[in-house]
Chains A and B, each alone.
Chain A
């Protein structure tokens, strides 16, 4: 949905994790976007694998014809659900191609955790580990005085990625919270246990297990669990197949991002050993990986077995073949682990099915209990989150614990809504050059508070402000003595400081007398005094907060009086 926003005016895109970049080619290749995209290296590499798998699976089944008549609103209205409820079908696009993916990815700037990136000198953005996936990040967007944290897809559980960096989120003015768990009621650890036991049971009964999954992410953890589990469960002889055009790359890449892994895995690399045990599974031939079901796989294929393959929506990819192959036998089991798709919807076209279906969604992202714990920990001034998180899920409206609960209440946003964040900028940093600082004369006004008036040249470049000593006024060339009147016009308004203070009467008169005014006469008025200098025909009105000098056009005299008055006042 792009009409809300002209994407060519977007300067920067920050990518949180590899699941959040699947639409990137649409933006970089079609919208006139010319800004910069920032992401971590694992995000880009694994994101590339996900896109590659997607493109590959879709291009493998070319469609000679595509029906578009149904997209007509009149026709669509008559179609059965869910087609009739689909929104904006005219906006649906064809999948991008590999050259587009490569072009999009080439526009990404790689960044590391805790790297401070200056944007236009105005703000600084920093990715932080979010603990959800390899290279997944939360982002801090801050200027000198404001700090906005964007928390998306974070996990407090200990899985393979580096733990979430919570400390750096502290003192945020605004914390934008999104990408919470899809399944707030499921406990990932319990689900893993269920996954293993169901898998073991099926295989022991001579059935096959199908695990529709993404080629990266939770699969690493599942393989690790199985690595520990298979020997004790007596499954050592059961082959595990991982089928994806990017299976090999995904397994290889996982081993080289040591710096992005949790501490345990990092220590392994120091030994040096591969951080993930699937290296050993591959070495011992327990885990085999193939780019597709064609070729080598058909020769090696032995049943019963366990197959990991995509796509988790069951709409495309090699998983479709296995559903059709195994769907008719009740010995087999399909185990859903990816939380992004409803398993009922996914299975709908395959019904009726004899195969067992087990739903063990493993979503390590924050649940609501963890959210409250996190918010208590980092104490943001304001929380902003999607509307869905501020109320219990529609299917379980009594579960008031399934919503974001914080003080002050979270501000919510909806699709296509613009939200103004509740803070006001007051200050900005400016630098004073050392020579200017040397020239300042601070004056202590109150105990502990000093001030100095500053007149300086302001240089602004790339949103950085610097104050410099004003240049010395150039000496007028001596040869040009005859000048036109207009040459004397003061060039630009040079601001004079504001004055403050009051003038003590007696001292002022004394000072006047000291400076040669002998005929000073003072008259009291309602608000103050009038000082008369009779000979000079000059009148000075002194009041609490004002002084008025009325004189003839005698510039030297006026200047002299002026300077005397100024002696009693403070400049600001």
Chain B
């Protein structure tokens, strides 16, 4: 799911032999089989538990977790499911809500039950931010703060030195109640990023807020009703904080309602998980908890017919079912009223239809609903815009990028931009398509500390640009790789060293006495081999490093001296060089 599409996010990642499923969402635009991901892609006949090492849920939005009970209880999965604490707390409530709407209101059967939601949640392991969770010996995951909604997280999945980061939905700019997403420079092999707003660069938050308040205010002033379809948690709280402070400042009297019993509960979650909100709220919560509202009251269905102005937050946010749709149908006919869509709407929903300009809607039972009320769209969804996505890529420095959770056309544009700016490959597979990304894993081996210290003790070379060559022996036994010094390798294997030595006779024409010849050779070598230790030993021999040079007179010709140059194989280059050097003869000595 979520391939060139928004909805039913579900991505399967195979990394170094491990299989991880990212998110398990539902699609709001469909009511048939297509609402859930097709899990037969994972395995045709085997059990999902055998195939998947773990499942990760990024946040509690239903398009990311809506299919979870279906997946774990009806299809069957018993492995671990990871999510953050707030997600674990809120997710079952939204699932229950979703179940109620589908089963109780629409009368569908063959849907997951409340018990299944509970059983499913028992399989959930809650994770802390930045905690490294060892799923098994090799697979580890780590959560990063993602903004977006309470408890939303990005996840890093790591096996050996290969890693993938999945962003879920994220927001790079802090808003009124949450902070901005953050990740360190973890250089993953692949970054899987959402791209809801791939082509949008949003104007400043302040402008949007002012605009929003102005529209609400104007409508209320002329006695109209404002409907704001929202999801119970997330944008709702942000807009509530916004309206609450505005009402207080302007001393407004028009009532603000929040539909469904979830409100109170939802705000409670925010109070208890205040560590997940932004800095300002966290700092001041002891004095004044931002989530205790004075002006916002619970909504009752009967209030919808009350005369006079009012503002109502109603769920769900895309006008596809439930209370928001009911109120919408009641108020749609009056041009004084207004509906403000604060977030993205999936294709197929009423929200999407009215936003795309449709004014005659076909409702259930072939009824036609004419929309006269004003329709406003205001992007308050906490998704990263194009700028934000680029910023995240800059932060994480991935080697490859893969876009999901967006529309194909917009993705295409962003893909080009990413490839241009960062010179990394960017992919945008459709649903059911597999993308293979080659990684370049390095091989970790154990180096003996002795060898390492010997190498580093030499210190930096005078010319830092010149590469430092080190030499060692890699021992491979069973599955362990150890890099040791050659001497140690020999010792460990119980082998003796075989010395290979060369001795070359070099003839030199020099009528002088032997020791004078030696002295001349010594001076000559000393002059040329400046970087080497050249020594003249008392017994009349010369050493260059460990190479030994001795001179004797030729047995037949006193004018020819024989130099015996003797070296081991380890000094091969120097020895070979010395013989060829000496063969050229000595320079004419200058008096």
Residue B89 is within 8 A (CB to CB) of chain A in the complex:
yes
Interface centre among A272, A425, A429, A455 (most CB of B within 10 A): A272
Is the pair A500, B85 in contact by a Cβ cutoff of 8 Å?
no
The answer to whether A4 has its CB under 8 Å from any CB of chain B is no
A499 interface hit (Cβ, 8 Å)? yes
* One of A29-37, A73-81, A249-257, A358-366 at the interface: A249-257
A405-446 CB mask vs B (1 if < 8 Å, else 0) is 000000000000000000001111111111001001010011
Is A470 in contact with chain B by the CB < 8 A criterion? yes
Residues from chain A with a CB closer than 8 A to the CB of B500 are: 499, 546-549, 562, 565-566, 569
B50 CB-CB contact with A under 8 Å: no
Are A112 and B131 touching (Cβ within 8 A)?
A: yes
When the two chains form their complex, are residues B470 and A467 in contact, meaning their CB atoms are under 8 A apart?
yes
Contacts A252-B286, A451-B474; is A550 near B448 (CB within 8 Å)?
no
Residue A545 interfacial (CB < 8 Å): yes
* Contact call B470/A429, Cβ cutoff below 8 A: no
Tell me if B123 is interfacial: C-beta within 8 Å of chain A. Answer: no
- Which residues of the other chain, A, contact B503 by a CB distance below 8 angstroms? 548-551
* A489 to B580 CA separation, bound complex (whole angstroms): 11
Q: Is A379 an interface residue (CB 8 A)?
A: no
Given the known A-B contacts A452-B476, A547-B501, are A426 and B469 also in contact in the complex, defined by CB atoms under 8 Å?
A: no
Chain B residues within an 8 Å CB radius of A431: 161, 442-445
Which residues of chain A come closer than 8 Å to B478, judged between CB atoms? 448
Chain A residues near B265: list those with CB within 8 A. 272
Which residues on B sit within 8 Å (CB–CB) of A115?
A: 128, 130-132
Which of A214-222, A338-346, A457-465 forms part of the interface with chain B?
A: A457-465
Q: Would you call B469 and A494 a contact (CB within 8 A)?
A: yes
Please give, as numbers and ranges, the residues of chain A lying within 8 Å of B473 by CB-CB distance. Answer: 451-454, 497, 572
Residue contact B440 to A494, C-beta cutoff 8 Å: no
Contact of A572 among B461, B470, B486, B506 (CB under 8 A): B486
Q: Given the known inter-chain contacts A256-B272, A258-B85, A448-B477, please indicate yes or no for A430 contacting B445, CB distance below 8 A.
A: yes
Interface centre among A270, A497, A502 (most CB of B within 10 A): A270
Tell me whether B577 is interfacial, beta carbon within 8 Å: yes
B501 to A549, Cβ gap below 8 A?
yes
CB contacts (< 8 Å) of A84 on chain B: these are none
Residue of B nearest to A41 (CB): B275
Q: Is A396 an interface residue (CB 8 A)?
A: no
* A342, chain B: closest CB distance, angstroms: 34
How far is B474's CA from A442's CA once the two chains are assembled, in angstroms? 8
How far does the Cβ of B586 sit from chain A's closest Cβ, in whole Å? 12
Closest Cβ–Cβ distance, residue A160 to chain B (whole Å): 15
**Binding stretch for chain B, among A185-193, A320-328, A382-390, A552-560:** A552-560
- With contacts A256-B274, A489-B529, A546-B501 taken as known, whether A449 is within 8 angstroms of B443 at the C-beta atoms is no
Contact A270 B88, CB 8 Å, known A248-B286, A457-B469: yes
Q: With the chains together, A231 CA to B457 CA distance in Å?
A: 73
Q: Indicate if A485 sits at the interface (CB-CB under 8 A).
A: yes
Shortest Cβ gap from B179 to chain A (Å) = 13
- Bitwise, B435-468 to A at CB < 8 A (1) or not (0) is 0000011111111110010011000010000111
Q: A453-B471, A548-B503 are in contact. Are A500 and B272 (CB under 8 A)?
A: no
User: Do the beta carbons of B471 and A455 come within 8 Å of each other?
Assistant: yes
Are B442 and A558 in contact, with the CB atoms below 8 A?
no
Do residues B85 and A498 form an inter-chain contact, with CB atoms below 8 A? no
Q: Which of B441, B476, B504 contacts A451 (CB 8 A)?
A: B476
Find out whether the CB atom of A258 lies under 8 angstroms from the CB atom of B469: no
Q: Which of B318-326, B331-339, B515-523, B565-573 contacts A (4 or more CB under 8 A)?
A: B565-573
Closest to A565 in B: B500
A498 to B490, CA, bound (A): 9
Q: Which residues in chain A, 207-258, are within 8 Å of chain B measured between CB atoms?
A: 248-249, 252-253, 255-258
Q: Tell yes or no: A505 within 8 A of B by CB.
A: no
Q: Give bound CA distance, A249 to B573, whole Å.
A: 76
Task: Say if the beta carbon of B352 comes within 8 Å of chain A.
Answer: no
The answer on a CB contact under 8 Å between A272 and B268 is yes
Asked if B51 is at the interface of the complex by the 8 Å CB criterion, the answer is no
- Could you tell me if B85 and A558 are in contact, using CB atoms closer than 8 angstroms? no
Residue in contact with A450 in the complex, picked from B285, B469, B476, CB distance below 8 Å: B476
Question: Across the interface, do A427 and B447 meet the contact criterion of CB distance under 8 Å?
Answer: yes
Smallest Cβ-Cβ distance to B282: which chain A residue: A256
A140 to B382, CA, bound (A): 38
A500 CA to B441 CA, complexed, in Å: 33
Cα distance, A249 to B529, chains bound together (Å): 76
Chain B residue contacts of A100, Cβ below 8 A: none
Q: How far is the CA of A482 from the CA of B167 in the complex (A)?
A: 62
8 Å CB contacts to B: which residues of A129-181? 144-145
Nearest CB on B from A49, distance (A): 10
Q: How far does the alpha carbon of A272 sit from the alpha carbon of B89 in the complex, in Å?
A: 8
**Within 8 Å of chain B (Cβ to Cβ): is A122?**
no
* Interface check A466, CB cutoff 8 A: yes
Contact B442 A432 (CB under 8 A): yes
A470 to B265, CA, bound (A): 63
Residues of A within 8 A of B469 (CB): 455-457, 470, 492, 494-495
Q: Does B116 contact A (CB under 8 A)?
A: no
Q: A18: CB under 8 A from chain B?
A: no
| Interchain CB contact under 8 A, A489 and B531 | yes
Asked, given contacts A488-B577, A498-B570, whether A547 binds B477 with beta carbons under 8 Å apart, the answer is no
- A52 in the interface (beta carbon within 8 A): no
Q: Is the CB of A500 within 8 A of B499?
A: no
Write out the residue numbers on chain A whose beta carbons fall within 8 Å of the beta carbon of B501.
546-549
Q: Within the assembled complex, what's the spacing in Å between the Cα atoms of A485 and B274? A: 76
Contacts of A430 in B (CB 8 A): 444-447, 452, 483
Query: Does B581 sit within 8 A of A, measured CB to CB?
Result: yes
Taking the closest CB of chain A, its distance from the CB of B457, in whole angstroms, is 12
Complex Cα gap A428–B466 (Å): 25
Q: B440's closest neighbor in chain A, by CB?
A: A434
A266-B85 contact, Cβ under 8 Å, with A497-B471, A549-B503: yes
Q: B50: shortest Cβ distance to chain A, in Å?
A: 25
A2 to chain B, nearest CB (A): 33
Chain B residues whose C-beta falls within 8 Å of the C-beta of A456 in the assembled complex? 469-470
Complex: chain A residue closest to B565, CB-CB = A553
User: Measured between alpha carbons, how far is A502 from B473 in the docked complex, in Å?
Assistant: 20
Interface check B119, CB cutoff 8 A:
no
Instruction: Give the shortest distance, in Å, between B585 (CB) and chain A (any CB).
Output: 12
Q: Residue B475 at the A interface, CB < 8 A?
A: yes
A442 and B576 CA atoms in complex are apart in Å by 29
Indicate if B498 sits at the interface (CB-CB under 8 A).
Answer: yes
| Least distance between B422 CB and chain A CB atoms (Å) | 22
Does B269 have its Cβ within 8 Å of any Cβ on chain A? yes
Quick one: given A485-B581, A498-B497, A546-B501, are A257 and B275 in contact (CB under 8 Å)? yes
Query: A434-B440, A548-B503, A553-B583 in contact; A496/B286 too (CB < 8 A)?
Result: no
CB <8 Å contact, A256 and B580: no
Q: List 24 A-B contacts (CB under 8 A).
A: A112-B129, A114-B128, A144-B446, A249-B286, A270-B89, A432-B444, A451-B476, A452-B476, A455-B471, A458-B468, A465-B452, A466-B442, A470-B469, A485-B528, A486-B530, A488-B577, A490-B577, A496-B570, A499-B498, A500-B498, A501-B495, A546-B500, A546-B501, A547-B501
Given contacts A496-B569, A572-B473, 10 further A-B contacts (CB under 8 A): A114-B131, A126-B132, A446-B493, A485-B581, A489-B531, A489-B577, A494-B469, A495-B570, A547-B498, A572-B489
List 10 A-B pairs, minimum CB-CB distance, nearest first: A546-B499, A572-B486, A457-B467, A498-B486, A430-B447, A270-B89, A427-B446, A495-B471, A112-B128, A114-B131
